[in-house]
Amino acid sequence: MTVRRADVARLAGTSPAVVSYVLNGGPRGVSPETKARVLAAIEQLGYHPNGIARSLRMNRTMTLGLVVPDTSNPFFAELGRAIEEAAFARGYTLLVGNAAEIDERQTTYVRTFLARQVDGLFLVPAHGAAGCLPHLQRTRTPWVAIDRRLGGIEAATVLVDNRGGARTATEHLLGHGRTRIGCIAGPKDVMPATDRVAGWREALAEAGVRPSEMRVVHGEFGRHAGYLAAKQILAGGDHDALFVASDEQAVGALRAVNELGLRCPEDMAVASFDGIAATAYSVPALTTMTQPFAEIGSTAVAGLVGRIAEPSIPAETVVLPVTLVARGSCGCPEPSGAV
């Protein structure tokens, strides 16, 4: 026998409308005692709301889309999880698309999610061209950019302080007495990479070190790219530290330092950016500027849900702070217990 909402209301001693308020989180409040009776009745009767009918009534699918540049990169995996957790807490299901740093693939995912009538869309733009721009400009579906700005379009955006964080990391290396600090940067056409290079340059200049005399090598946000860049920078033997624009690149850089017969941090100090979980397990553990993944996720989801409820909300850019986690790779004491 099919269990109906009216059956739940009868067992709970309330009305079907109140059952609806409990299931949908509003629009009217329900006392804790009544809510408990409704939830107990739902459990006892095994009631399952009709999701399709609910979506039609609400004119919503209760799904959100997320397109990221590369799901194999732990940074995007951790970011995606934070967004999913925040979306799930608000009753949304998250669909994830991997652009694989390919513009056509990114555009396909954006078009597919919009065609599937997601209630909102998150986009971490891949580097290079952005073929999805026309679709985003035409759509009435609310969307939010995360981690990177999308040039040529006004959009609600959630970022971290890339420039300030890079400056702090470089200043920390300078504080250890390092004066020849090279930079392993990300792709030249990605905003976080350029901002982090700018922060590195600012810190050196303020310390009286000419950035033009230090080597900077751009590459993909990956371990192999970091390995190759470190080999290139350190071949001259005239640097005593590296600021690396991402943790994944820094893991590769540590390998290169070891292969060159250098000790980290004694001969070559290293500081990086992102704060992925794996940085606590390298040897030595990486000093890194940690991004607030949970706060990024909750801020982005709150912003998107707000725009779903009120599409006329002006597009704003939120910049969140990053935090230095000092470990052994810079010369600070090596923590125990992988923290």
197-219 pLDDT, tens per residue? 999 999 999 999 999 999 999 99
Mean pLDDT of 242-265: 97
Which 3-state string (H, E, C) describes 90-158? CCCEEEEEECCCCHHHHHHHHHHHHHCCCCEEEECCCCCCCCCHHHHHHCCCCEEEECCCCCCCCCEEE
Q: What is residue 321's three-state secondary structure?
A: coil
120-132 b/e (C-beta count within 10 Å ≥ 16 → b): bbbbbbbbeebbb
Query: So what's the pLDDT on residue 58?
Result: 52
Candidate ranges 3-12, 222-231, 234-243; pick with highest mean pLDDT? 222-231
**What is the pLDDT at residue 6?**
86
Work out the average pLDDT over 185-204: 95
- pLDDT tens sequence across 75-109: 999 999 999 999 999 989 999 999 999 999 999 99
DSSP 235-264: TTS--SEEEESSHHHHHHHHHHHHHTT--T
Calculate the average pLDDT of the chain.
91
How does pLDDT run across 153-169, given as a tens digit for each residue? 888 999 999 999 999 99
* Calpha distance 191→213 (Å, rounded): 23
Coil, strand or helix at 13: coil
Distance, CA of 224 to CA of 249 (rounded, Å):
7
Give 4's pLDDT tier (boundaries 50, 70, 90). confident
